[in-house]
C-alpha cells in the first residue's frame, strides 16, 4: 500500500481535466504551488501527502496520520467486521476510515497495533526484507525449556507455506512465560511454533514493533497519535 509518486503535470491534468500541454503552460505562468513554493517543473514527483495549489485553489492537502493502539482481546484487527468490534471502532478520529492496519493481531491476542494512512511507512515496518523486530510476551500451558530457544533460533519448516521461518529470539521469563522476537509474521506463527512442542499458547501480547513500544500508561482499548 505504498504511496505512489506521480509527475506533477499528470496529476494536474487528471485532476483538472486538461491537456498536458495546457498544464505545462500554466506551470510556466506560475499558477502552481507545491508545498507552499512556486513550481514550474512538470516532472516534479508528488504523492498523496504533497500539498498542491492551482491558481489559489487547494487541490490536495492530505496529512499523514500515525496511531498507536492498545488492542484488547476480543477486538478484531480489521476495518469492518459483522460479528466483532474492530480496532477502527475504538478510534475517535475524523479520518479513521482512511486508515489501514500495520501488522495485525488475531482476535485473542492483545497489545500494540499501529494504524496509518501512509503506505510507505507501513511497508517499511512490515516488509520482511527490512527485518523489523516485533516483540511479544507469551504465556503457555506447560514449562518452557532450553530446547525452545534452539528451535526458535534455527527456524521451523511450515509445510503449508513451504517456508522455513526466519531465526527468532526466545527468552525465558519464567516457567511458562517467554519473550519472543520475530522479524516476520506468518499466519499464527508464534502459536504454531509453540505447537511443535505441543504447548498451547494461553496469552499472546505484543509490546513493540521496531522502535515503537507500547507505553506502560496506555490503558487497554486506548490509542494515541504518534
Eight-state DSSP code of residue 24: H
| Strands 201-209, 110-116: pairing kind | parallel
Q: Phi first, then psi: what are they for 12, rounded to 5°?
A: -70, -40
Give the ranges where the chain is alpha helix by DSSP (H): 8-16, 20-28, 119-126, 146-154, 189-195
* Coil vs helix vs strand at 222: coil
Catalytic residue check, 9: no
Q: Phi first, then psi: what are they for 180, rounded to 5°?
A: -125, 130
* Coil vs helix vs strand at 195: helix
Query: Can you say how many angstroms the Cα of residue 208 is from the centroid of all Cα atoms in its chain?
Result: 12
The active-site residue, picked from 106, 118, 127, 217, is 106
All cell numbers assigned to 83: 460479528
Contacts of 170 (CB under 8 A, 6+ apart): 144, 148, 149, 152, 153, 178, 179, 180, 181
Residues designated as active site: 106
Amino acid at each position: 500500500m505504498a504511496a505512489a509518486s506521480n509527475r506533477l503535470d499528470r496529476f494536474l491534468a487528471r485532476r483538472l481535466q486538461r491537456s498536458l500541454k495546457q498544464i505545462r503552460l500554466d506551470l510556466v505562468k506560475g499558477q502552481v504551488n507545491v508545498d507552499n513554493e512556486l513550481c514550474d517543473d512538470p516532472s516534479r514527483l508528488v504523492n498523496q501527502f504533497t500539498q498542491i495549489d492551482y491558481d489559489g485553489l487547494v487541490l490536495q492537502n492530505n496529512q499523514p496520520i500515525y496511531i498507536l493502539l492498545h488492542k484488547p482481546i476480543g477486538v478484531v484487527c480489521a476495518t469492518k467486521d459483522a460479528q466483532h468490534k474492530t480496532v477502527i471502532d475504538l478510534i475517535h478520529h475524523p479520518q479513521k476510515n482512511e486508515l489501514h492496519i500495520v501488522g495485525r493481531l488475531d482476535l485473542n491476542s492483545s497489545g500494540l497495533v499501529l494504524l496509518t494512512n501512509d503506505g510507505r511507512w507501513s511497508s517499511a515496518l512490515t516488509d520482511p526484507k527490512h527485518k523489523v523486530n516485533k516483540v511479544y510476551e507469551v504465556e503457555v500451558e506447560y514449562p518452557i525449556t532450553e530446547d525452545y530457544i534452539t528451535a526458535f533460533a534455527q527456524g521451523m519448516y511450515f509445510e503449508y507455506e513451504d517456508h522455513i521461518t526466519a531465526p527468532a529470539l526466545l527468552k525465558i521469563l519464567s516457567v511458562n512465560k517467554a519473550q519472543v522476537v520475530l522479524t516476520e509474521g506468518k499466519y499464527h506463527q508464534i502459536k504454531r511454533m509453540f505447537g511443535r512442542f505441543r504447548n498451547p499458547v494461553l496469552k499472546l501480547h505484543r509490546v513493540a514493533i521496531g522502535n515503537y513500544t507500547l507505553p506502560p500508561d496506555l490503558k487497554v482499548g486506548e490509542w494515541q497519535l504518534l
